[in-house]
Amino acid sequence: MAKVDDYRNYIEEIIEWRTKIGYPNYPDLQMIPVLDRERDNYLLMVYGWEGQKRNHYALIHAGIRNGKIWIYYDGLEDGVASFLLEKGVPKEDIVLAFYSPEKRKLTEFAAA
């Protein structure tokens, strides 16, 4: 369980880090971290106005299933997986779930 607790902390850390940055050029865009440890589901939601354009989307969506980190959506320039690798998470514990199951098999990361 210590490994899973570490993984929870890593996901929360990157979400909190990105939340603090915000969008300085768009002060009307808000970021809301959604951290559900009970269900191991983690999101960084963005909402608000960018000029005349209404925004409401997930910048990050990740979860933990069967002891692995599943990245469902990654809107970061450097990528959530890069951050996790820097923290020492092995590639076989990271699933790039934004790819199809067939395409995941072609990556260096876990397929499922």
Instruction: Enumerate the H helices of 65-107 as residue ranges.
Output: 80-86, 101-104
**1 beta partners:** none
Q: What is the pLDDT of residues 42-74, one digit of tens each?
A: 999 999 999 899 999 999 999 999 999 999 999
Query: How far is residue 36's CA from residue 78's CA, in Å, rounded to a whole number?
Result: 24
pLDDT digit string, tens, across residues 3-24: 999 999 999 999 999 999 999 9
SS3 27: coil
Mean pLDDT within 73-79: 97
49: left (phi over 0), alpha (psi -120 to 50) or beta: beta
DSSP 88: T
Q: Which amino acid is at 14?
A: I
* Structure token digits, residue 50: 């960018």
Domains and their CATH numbers in the chain: 2-104 (3.30.310.110)
Q: How confident is the model at residue 1 (pLDDT cuts 50, 70, 90)?
A: confident
